[in-house]
Amino acid sequence: MKILFFGNLREQLGTGEIELPLAPGTNNIAELLEALKQRGSEWQQALSAGSLLCAVNQTMATRDTLLEDSDEVALFPPVTGG
Amino acid sequence: MKILFFGNLREQLGTGEIELPLAPGTNNIAELLEALKQRGSEWQQALSAGSLLCAVNQTMATRDTLLEDSDEVALFPPVTGG
Amino acid sequence: MITIAVQAADFDTGQEIRQLQADRTDVGGIAIFTGQVRDTGDKPLGFMHLEHYPGMTEASLQQTAEQAAQRWPLIDIRIVHRIGDLLPGDQIVFVGVSSIHREAAFNACEFIMDHLKTHAPFWKKEYYRDGSTQWVEAKNTDQQRNARWDQHN
Amino acid sequence: MITIAVQAADFDTGQEIRQLQADRTDVGGIAIFTGQVRDTGDKPLGFMHLEHYPGMTEASLQQTAEQAAQRWPLIDIRIVHRIGDLLPGDQIVFVGVSSIHREAAFNACEFIMDHLKTHAPFWKKEYYRDGSTQWVEAKNTDQQRNARWDQHN
């Protein structure tokens, strides 16, 4: 599974993209976030923001959106275009 | 007193402007309209529309706006610019 | 700054917008409306004549712009309205408003159009290709739209 | 017709508007919004960087435009959004909507801006002249403004 990070979150994590096999027990975005938080204190802190948005296959998703290993997941702070 | 007519009203009356001394008893727009209606059946008909707008010295006015002989009065149908 | 023009000549919308943007770094948003001559009635339109009340027209547009400037925090207001004979598809009116914030720009632009439609002394007459003519009737919806701004006061 | 562009290059607002007007005689009104880079904070701005999510950005703007087209009787929608490094005063975004009636054009233009501000994956980072940087924070007022459109449903 490809996971992309944008904006401030990309800077906080020090990476814009990781590849990860979808682990057993990680069925939705909420569970993916919990799994990613185990990667270290920066991850724990950066991914705890309730305002964090997510997209699955380039469409806005929610915490309970289900995941497949072939998905492109993106995590990012609230958008500020326009 | 100069009295201007615009749009459809100008066509109905066949004139865009008349000069008229302010007659005794003609103190406001409503009374001016009544006096003008005496000029003939076209005037009677054209000036009876309740939707008719008026301006005094190039500012929107109402039926009870008071008049002086030096005023520029304008009568016209609802506006349709834009 | 308020800029008003009533003219027979066409206007360059891009140039009008550049005037609103010109060398300023405090403009957050610009809301613009342009109106064109439509040819969507039953009878094909030859041209439209726009009659106006010289002198009062400019004063009326100025007052409308000043009301908008009192109501919202605006930077610049530009209004251009054409008069005379216009062909289908021709530009009639340009209203452009710049502000720090887009909400003020949107509201002011819509307010100016609604106010102009009900207060500025312009009258449209349509000349059809079959030789007949028709004065355009004022729309009740324009009155209603303008009345909204009084309720919001 | 819906036209979407996400690009580093500047755009010509006059040309965008001419595309909306182009040779059509059924357009009654065109509502436009343009946003510029502001320099009104405490620290003088050097430039602003606009990051985006390639692919999703275009899809998101397309969806927003389609929602507007379902909601109001529109003729054309054009959205241009720039990315990369922009200087104070530079144009960021163009939203133009043409319709037979001005009410639909105004509503759709404002809806698209509100939706874009809360849904399109763009992130602004400010680079100040003193060398410091700051990610622009999302505004609660943008969320509230966008929520209005749900209530009106």
Over residues D109-143, the pLDDT tens digits come to: 999 999 999 999 999 999 999 999 999 999 888 98
Q: CA–CA separation, C4 vs C80, rounded Å?
A: 6
Residues of chain C with C-beta less than 8 angstroms from the C-beta of B3? none
CATH architecture of C2-128: Alpha-Beta Complex (3.90)
Chain A's closest residue to D136, CA to CA, is A80
Helix (H, G, I), strand (E, B) or coil at B71: coil
pLDDT band at C24 (very low <50, low <70, confident <90, very high): confident
Interface residue C51 vs chain B (CB under 8 A):
yes
Q: pLDDT (tens digit, 9 = 90+) per residue, C58-105?
A: 999 999 999 999 999 999 999 999 999 999 999 999 999 999 989 999
Q: pLDDT (tens digit, 9 = 90+) per residue, C124-150?
A: 999 999 999 999 999 888 989 898 998
Residues of chain C with C-beta less than 8 angstroms from the C-beta of B82? 35, 81, 92-93, 113, 116-117, 120, 122
Q: pLDDT (tens digit, 9 = 90+) per residue, D139-153?
A: 888 989 899 998 754
For residues C110-122, average pLDDT: 97
Q: CA–CA separation, A75 vs A56, rounded Å?
A: 9
Q: What is the 3-state secondary structure (H, E, C) of chain C?
A: CEEEEEECCCCCHHHHHHHHHCCCCCCCEEEEEEEECCCCCCCCEEEEEEEECCCHHHHHHHHHHHHHHHHCCEEEEEEEEECEEECCCCEEEEEEEEECCHHHHHHHHHHHHHHHHHHCCEEEEEEECCCCEEECCCCHHHHHHHHHHHHCC
Q: Determine whether the interchain pair C117/B82 forms a contact, defined as Cβ–Cβ distance below 8 Å.
A: yes
Percent of all residues in chain A with a pLDDT value above 70, rounded to a whole number: 100
Rounded to two decimals, the pTM is 0.94
Q: CA–CA separation, C52 vs B81, rounded Å?
A: 9
Residues of chain C with C-beta less than 8 angstroms from the C-beta of D99? none
Helix (H, G, I), strand (E, B) or coil at B7: helix
What pLDDT score does D152 carry? 58
Percent of all residues in chain D with a pLDDT value above 70, rounded to a whole number: 99
Residues of chain D with C-beta less than 8 angstroms from the C-beta of C113? 102, 106
What pLDDT score does C22 carry? 85
Q: Is the dihedral of CA A24, A28, A29, A34 positive or negative?
A: negative
| H or E element, residue A33 | helix A29-37
Contact C108, C133 (CB under 8 A): no
Contacts of C1 (CB under 8 A, 6+ apart): C75, C76, C77
Q: Determine whether the interchain pair C138/B78 forms a contact, defined as Cβ–Cβ distance below 8 Å.
A: yes
Q: Length of chain A in residues, anyone?
A: 82
- Looking from the CA of A45 toward its CB, the CA atoms found within 13 Å total 8
Q: With 60 as the cut, is the pLDDT of residue C153 above it?
A: no
DSSP character for A59?
E
Chain D's closest residue to C15, CA to CA, is D14
Q: CA–CA separation, B47 vs B77, rounded Å?
A: 10
Per-residue pLDDT 10s for chain B (82 aa) are: 999 999 999 999 999 999 999 999 999 999 999 999 999 999 999 999 999 999 999 999 999 999 999 999 999 999 999 9
Q: With 80 as the cut, is the pLDDT of residue D23 above it?
A: no
Interface residue C28 vs chain B (CB under 8 A):
no
Q: Whole-number mean pLDDT of chain C?
A: 95
Q: Determine whether the interchain pair C27/D38 forms a contact, defined as Cβ–Cβ distance below 8 Å.
A: yes
Tell the CATH superfamily of the A2-76 domain: Beta-grasp domain (3.10.20.30)
Q: Determine whether the interchain pair B81/C136 forms a contact, defined as Cβ–Cβ distance below 8 Å.
A: no
Q: Determine whether the interchain pair B76/C121 forms a contact, defined as Cβ–Cβ distance below 8 Å.
A: yes
Contacts of B56 (CB under 8 A, 6+ apart): B29, B65, B67, B71, B72, B73, B74
Q: pLDDT (tens digit, 9 = 90+) per residue, A2-55?
A: 999 999 999 999 999 999 999 999 999 999 999 999 999 999 999 999 999 999
Q: pLDDT (tens digit, 9 = 90+) per residue, D45-55?
A: 999 999 999 99
Q: Determine whether the interchain pair C53/B55 forms a contact, defined as Cβ–Cβ distance below 8 Å.
A: yes
Q: How far is CA A25 from CA A2, A34, A62, A67, in A?
A: 17, 11, 18, 11
Helix (H, G, I), strand (E, B) or coil at A31: helix
> For chain A, which residues make up each domain, given as ranges?
2-76
Q: Whole-number mean pLDDT of chain D?
A: 95
Complex ipTM, two decimals?
0.92
Beta-bridge mates of residue C119 = none
What pLDDT score does C16 carry? 95
Q: Determine whether the interchain pair B81/C93 forms a contact, defined as Cβ–Cβ distance below 8 Å.
A: yes
Residues 131-150 of D with CB under 8 A from A: 135-138
**Interface contacts (C, D; CB < 8 Å):** 121
Q: Determine whether the interchain pair D24/C89 forms a contact, defined as Cβ–Cβ distance below 8 Å.
A: yes
**Interface contacts (A, D; CB < 8 Å):** 75
Angle between helices D56-71 and D102-119 (to 10 degrees): 150
